[in-house]
């Protein structure tokens, strides 16, 4: 069965039409002609895989990861990097136009850096002595010796883990942004921890701390941060500073008295902008995040910030007289209670950092009762995947 790819969907899959029914085909690009095999059929759509490429796009990247066709870690390695950035910018513009009253030109720019070796974290899964990443759409293990998305320090640790593996079910590897320090947390069994102790700074096996230290320190701009195995930290080791600088520059412009930092993680953004605020309160539900946040407060000698360990929706009703609200929610975006209370708080500015443009647009629509969007700037924090980070500035009308 032969089809022509019309465009890419929001998840990076090629779109073709068979008998007026939409068909999603991975690893294809617009204007390519391919021979396909149907793998799934529903009343509304089809899914297919490529059997043969009859006509390839000049935008196709042939220098791809050897695991790309099976591993579920990334889905845009077949598209050249310049086109990937254009695709993400157009995608967000189209979502803005389709689901809001905003115009496309509110999306100002997309920033990017490396297309490979940018990640400071990976989670590996193991079964039957195989260690790697999950196959697309399943829990089957794709055994790997390296990953092109992570930094070289992590790839060195992956090679040692493959040698040490007896029965590893999961391994979390994290490094500082400069790759000098590293964390390895293993669930399962290994045959020789002495080699692992030599190449990592924090080693945890089956929740038991093997090393003397339990955190590493990483730096973003002028600030330093403790990072533990279980706490959240931005995975892009270079572009994170650019994103934080955008928040910093807006904060410097306003010089707010009171700032509310929602979904604050380990306190990185609040601490990053603390020199230009009178008072900051950060909220996050993760005990590990808040423990690191308080360590980071001490590490940077920040006196004007405090942290609350709780769900945002449980504490949002406590606040008023806030000048700036910074939100960095998970992919689900803001819950309805939080959106309503942001309107009640009525701060001068909301700085919304989003990893999902769909939920961002939904939340903007409700907040637009009292706020207008100044700009949306994109950051390609996750190259070779369909994900893109967004920083939206909303000002009170």
Query: Each residue's pLDDT tens digit in the chain (397 positions)?
Result: 999 999 999 999 999 999 899 999 999 999 999 999 999 999 999 999 999 999 999 999 988 899 998 888 899 999 999 999 999 999 999 999 999 999 999 998 999 999 999 999 999 999 999 999 999 888 899 999 999 999 999 999 999 999 999 999 999 999 999 999 999 999 999 998 999 999 999 999 999 999 999 999 999 999 999 999 999 999 999 999 999 999 999 999 999 999 999 999 999 999 999 999 999 999 999 999 999 999 999 999 999 999 999 999 999 999 999 999 999 999 999 999 999 999 999 999 999 999 999 999 999 999 999 999 999 999 999 999 999 999 999 999 9
In the chain, the largest separation of any two C-alpha atoms, in whole Å, equals: 66
DSSP string, 81-132: HHHHHHHHHHHHHHHHHHHSS--GGGEEEEE---SSS-BSEEEEEEETTEEE
Whether 15 is covered by a domain: the verdict is: yes
User: Residue 244 is part of a domain; what is its CATH number?
Assistant: 3.40.50.150
* 127 and 142 in a common domain: yes
What 3-state class would DSSP assign to 202?
strand
Q: Supply the pLDDT for residue 330.
A: 94
Q: Quick check: is 355 catalytic? A: yes
Q: Which residues constitute the domain of residue 253?
A: 85-114+236-396
How many domains, in total, are found in the chain? 3
**From the centroid of its chain, how far is CA 214?**
24
* 342 and 256 in a common domain: yes
User: Residue 36 is part of a domain; what is its CATH number?
Assistant: 2.40.50.140
Distances, alpha carbon 324 to alpha carbons 109, 114, 216, 350, in Å: 23, 32, 31, 6
pTM: 0.94
Q: Are 43 and 32 in contact (CB under 8 A)?
A: no
Q: Supply the pLDDT for residue 64.
A: 85
* 356 and 381 in a common domain: yes
User: Residue 162 is part of a domain; what is its CATH number?
Assistant: 2.40.50.1070
* 376 and 245 in a common domain: yes
For 363, half-sphere exposure in the C-beta direction (CA atoms, 13 angstrom radius) is 31
**Residue 120 to residue 53: CA distance in whole angstroms:** 35
What 3-state class would DSSP assign to 221?
coil
What are the tokens at 397?
């009308």
Q: Are 135 and 71 in contact (CB under 8 A)?
A: yes
Q: Supply the pLDDT for residue 221.
A: 96
Q: Given 71, 74, 277, 355, which residue is catalytic?
A: 355
């Amino acid at each position: 069965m032969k089809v022509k790819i019309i465009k890419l969907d929001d998840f990076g899959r090629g779109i073709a039409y068979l008998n007026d029914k939409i068909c999603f085909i991975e690893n294809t690009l617009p204007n390519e002609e391919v021979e396909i095999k149907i793998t799934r059929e529903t009343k509304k759509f089809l899914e297919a895989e490529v059997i043969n490429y009859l006509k390839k796009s000049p935008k196709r990247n042939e220098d791809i990861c050897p695991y790309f066709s099976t591993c579920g870690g990334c889905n845009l390695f077949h598209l050249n990097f310049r086109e990937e950035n254009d695709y993400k910018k157009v995608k967000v513009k189209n979502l803005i136009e389709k689901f809001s009253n905003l115009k496309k030109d509110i999306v100002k720019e997309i920033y990017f850096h490396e297309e490979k070796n940018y990640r400071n974290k990976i989670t590996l899964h193991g079964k039957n002595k195989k260690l790697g990443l999950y196959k697309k759409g399943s829990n089957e293990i794709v055994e790997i010796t390296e990953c092109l998305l992570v930094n070289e320090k992590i790839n060195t640790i992956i090679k040692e883990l493959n040698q040490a593996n007896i029965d590893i079910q999961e391994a979390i590897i994290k490094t500082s942004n400069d790759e000098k320090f590293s964390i390895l947390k293993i669930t399962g069994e290994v045959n020789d921890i002495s080699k692992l102790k030599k190449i990592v700074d924090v080693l945890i096996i089956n929740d038991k701390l093997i090393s003397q230290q339990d955190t590493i320190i990483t730096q973003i701009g002028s600030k330093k941060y403790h990072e533990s195995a279980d706490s959240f930290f931005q995975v892009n080791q270079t572009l994170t500073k650019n994103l934080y600088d955008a928040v910093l520059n807006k904060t410097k412009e306003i010089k707010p008295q009171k700032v509310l930092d929602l979904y604050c993680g380990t306190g990185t953004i609040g601490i990053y902008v603390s020199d230009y605020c009178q008072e900051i309160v950060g909220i996050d539900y993760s005990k590990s995040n808040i423990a690191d946040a308080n360590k980071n407060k001490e590490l940077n000698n920040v006196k004007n910030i405090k942290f609350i360990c709780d769900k945002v929706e449980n504490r949002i009703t406590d606040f008023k007289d806030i000048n700036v609200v910074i939100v960095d929610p998970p992919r689900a975006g803001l819950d309805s209670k939080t959106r309503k209370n942001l309107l009640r708080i009525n701060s001068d500015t909301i700085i919304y950092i989003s990893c999902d443009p769909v939920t961002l647009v939904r939340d903007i629509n409700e907040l637009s009762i009292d706020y207008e969007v100044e700009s949306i700037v994109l950051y390609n924090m996750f190259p070779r995947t369909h994900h893109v980070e967004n920083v939206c500035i909303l000002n009170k009308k």
